[in-house]
Structure 1
Amino acid sequence: MTQTEVFSRAADREWTATPDGNRRRVLVHTDELMVVEFGFEKGGVGALHSHPHVQASYIAEGRFEVTIDGRTETLAMGDSFIVPSNLVHGVRALEAGRLVDSFTPHRADFI
């Protein structure tokens, strides 16, 4: 996607396998902001990690155990969470589901 594109259709975006066995597709991005959809099977884990980007996540489908900075909560479809820069975080899918994550600035490693 170029800097001038402002519309994106999910059907035009390809899923990519993630190192932890899940899948993701970059939906839209600029240098300042990125939206990425992640798909998980039941039991799928987004391993604990950190990054300098601020992350906001929306649970589009399913239930997840979400850990941020050592605190764990169970969240379900319609819930959301935010991860400040550099905090250790991860998820575990309690059932098949999807997360829609926004990152600022964009994750160059996902492009």
Structure 2
Amino acid sequence: MPNEVFARGAGGDWVDMAPGNRRRVLLHTKELMMVAFAFDKGGIGAPHSHPHVQASYIARGRFEVTVGDRTDTLAAGDSFIVPSGTVHGVKALEDGLLIDSFTPQREDFLE
């Protein structure tokens, strides 16, 4: 059984990523991590890739989302998956919040 089963409240501290973009680790085990990403309108999640599989849920706002060679506009209640090694990024069309899950955990987010 993992040490972290329940998380109450807001989670960890917010970490500024880029202008208009910040993240907060909510809960994690070695196998899975949940992270909140808050964006101001116009904030960019620059195109990048990583070996982790990522599932994202749009909790608030609207985003232009690119995964590989596909781009779509998604809004609160929508979700998307990023396969391992796939280039992806987002642009916040309004203030918004993404809840991302990564498997395995993003150890770089814990440093």
TM-score, length-scaled by structure 1: 0.93
Deviation string, structure 1 residues 66-101 (Cα, Å, up to 9, x no partner):
001021000000000000000000000000000000
**Structure 2 residues not aligned, in runs of 5+:** none
> Would you say the 8 A contact 2:11–2:27 is kept in 1?
no
Secondary structure of the residue that 1:47 maps to in structure 2? strand
Q: How many residue pairs get matched?
A: 108
Q: How does 1:47-86 map to 2 (within 5 A)?
A: 47-86=46-85
Secondary structure of the residue that 1:110 maps to in structure 2? helix
Deviation string, structure 1 residues 16-71 (Cα, Å, up to 9, x no partner):
111x2211000000000000000000000000000000000000000000001021
Compared with structure 1, are the counterparts of its residues 12 and 90 closer, same or farther at alpha carbon in structure 2 (3 Å cutoff)?
closer
Amino acid at match of 1:81: F
Q: How does 1:1-111 map to 2 (within 5 A)?
A: 3-18=2-17, 20-21=18-19, 22-111=21-110
Secondary structure of the residue that 2:54 maps to in structure 1? strand
Alpha carbon RMSD of aligned pairs, Å?
1.0
**Distance (Å, rounded) in 1 between the aligned partners of 2:102 and 2:88:** 14
**Distance (Å, rounded) in 1 between the aligned partners of 2:50 and 2:74:** 22
Secondary structure of the residue that 1:92 maps to in structure 2? strand
**Distance (Å, rounded) in 2 between the aligned partners of 1:5 and 1:54:** 20
- What percent of counterpart residues are identical? 68
Secondary structure of the residue that 2:58 maps to in structure 1? strand
Q: How far did residue 12 of structure 1 move?
A: 4.4
